[in-house]
Chain A
């Protein structure tokens, strides 16, 4: 059974960089056919796809966040990570990591982690 787990600070100061890591267990992140994504949900709101990384390192970022976003992968640790720079209160959200099959939706999700941007 594949499991994903987000980790990282729950509080980030404005203008700083938000950094989260997703650890994958029960399967190899190097398996082809899967995109490893970050998705966020503002409090009480809907879902926003942030971007994905493939095991090869290729990425696609949501243009709305592209200038501030970096997603990376560490296959040796079975992890992928998110860095979002110059954060503001508008970046306060629950951040999820998730796996997507190439023809499917997001079939496995982490439990989500709330990140609050506040001084």
Chain B
């Protein structure tokens, strides 16, 4: 299985901060990567697909980049609604796998 490793596991930040989350794949996945936001007790919400495509209705302050094995999710100016846990997911190779998650907390 392809291992997806996110860093950091927890991130403390303030409203207005620029936040970067990294996701590393154990082997190349081209650009077949998605990012999700999950809030407590809720289903994940798709933010980014194909590494850098913003899902319809998603805020423009969120962006994704990368290819191969290194990917980043950037929130340009953190808003109160952004405090949540974020997951990356590869869909290049079966079985599809997720990162362990990055929790963004209020500083």
Interface residues of chain A, those whose CB is within 8 Å of chain B, are 46-49, 60, 62-64, 96, 98, 100-101, 103-107, 109-112
Complex contacts, B46 vs chain A, CB 8 Å: 104-107
Beyond contacts A46-B87, A48-B98, A107-B49: 6 other A-B pairs, Cβ-Cβ < 8 A, are A104-B46, A105-B55, A105-B89, A106-B46, A111-B42, A111-B43
Q: List 19 A-B contacts (CB under 8 A).
A: A46-B98, A46-B100, A47-B87, A49-B95, A49-B96, A49-B98, A60-B94, A96-B43, A101-B49, A103-B49, A103-B50, A105-B46, A105-B49, A105-B91, A106-B34, A106-B89, A107-B55, A109-B43, A109-B44
Q: Is B97 an interface residue (CB 8 A)?
A: yes
Complex contacts, A60 vs chain B, CB 8 Å: 94-95
- Shortest CB-to-CB span from A96 to chain B, Å, is 6
Find the residue from B45, B48, B96 having the highest chain A CB count within 10 A: B96
Q: Which residue of B lies closest to A63 (CB)?
A: B95
Complex contacts, A49 vs chain B, CB 8 Å: 89, 95-98
**A112 and B55 within 8 A (CB):** no
Bound Cα distance from A100 to B34, whole angstroms: 11
Complex contacts, B91 vs chain A, CB 8 Å: 100, 105
Bound Cα distance from A59 to B53, whole angstroms: 27
Find the residue from B43, B94, B97, B98 having the highest chain A CB count within 10 A: B43
**A46 and B95 within 8 A (CB):** no
Bound Cα distance from A48 to B98, whole angstroms: 7
**B43 and A104 within 8 A (CB):** no
Bound Cα distance from A101 to B34, whole angstroms: 12
